[in-house]
Copies of this chain bind each other. A is one copy, B any other.
Amino acid sequence: MTETEPPDRRRRISLRTSRMEALSDGIFAIAATLLVLDLTIPAVTSRDVGHQLAMQWPTYVAYMVSFATIGTAWLNHSVITEYLDRADAILLRLNLALLFFVSVLPFPTHMLAEYLSNEGAERIAVTVYGLNLLAISGFIAIVWHYALWQRLVTKDNSEADVRALTTKLDPSLASYAVVIGIGLWRPGIAVALYFAIALFLFIPFRTVLREARSRRRS
């Protein structure tokens, strides 16, 4: 379909993708950086500031899980926009819905850090946090599947590449759903698992293997 369009129309549409990328990069960057405002400094009433800083470990864990989650969401988002040839009105709105859940993440992160040692509140915080992570992953998958369905991706990608990204996005959805269930019962374990998922998504096992293989070949 793209080939038959006049050249100028293509330029206009690629420009639309550029602003979608710019807004997304802005919101990813701000959400990731605003997290730091939750890291508060204990007052120096006593001498053991070091101890008090160490006692704030739930804040640091929440910070790191959220940063890693935003980081991996950005990585997946940037892979999607590389395949994107153009955007349409619905894709832009699905992307805004994704950005809504990215920009709101500092709120459950703050909640998690605050409530992590309180039994009743902890369960609520961990569940809200998990639902937010699920929504981010879910809307990334929706944006990707919508783009495939509407053929907004470039044609020159191999089927293998497209399938690889699809098989990468969908399992993380299932794992978040499972961990939300675990969190209702054992909130502490759920936090550890969210950290594990973030690390697993962050470390590029697949790429390391592929690089090693292509290196051996050449």
Q: A81 and B44: CB pair below 8 A?
A: no
Q: B27 and A27: CB pair below 8 A?
A: no
Measured as residues with beta carbon below 8 angstroms from the partner, the interface class of chain A is: 35 or more
Considering residues A16, A20, A33, which has the most beta carbons from chain B within 10 angstroms of its beta carbon? A33
Q: A25 and B23: CB pair below 8 A?
A: yes
A170 within 8 A of B: no
Evaluate whether A78 and B120 lie within 8 angstroms (CB atoms) in the complex, with A32-B27, A99-B32, A202-B93 already known.
Answer: no
How far, in whole Å, are A154 and B83 apart by their CA atoms in the complex? 23
Evaluate whether A37 and B34 lie within 8 angstroms (CB atoms) in the complex, with A8-B154, A16-B78, A22-B25 already known.
Answer: yes
Number of this chain's copies in the assembly equals 4
How far, in whole Å, are A35 and B107 apart by their CA atoms in the complex? 10
From the candidates B71, B82, B96, B114, name the one contacting A41 in the complex (CB within 8 A).
Answer: B114
Residues of A within 8 A of B (CB): 6, 8-9, 12, 15-16, 19-23, 25-37, 39, 41, 44, 47-50, 53, 63, 67, 71, 74-75, 78, 81-83, 88-90, 92-93, 96, 99-100, 103-104, 106-107, 110-111, 114-115, 118, 120-121, 124, 154, 156, 202-204, 206-208, 211
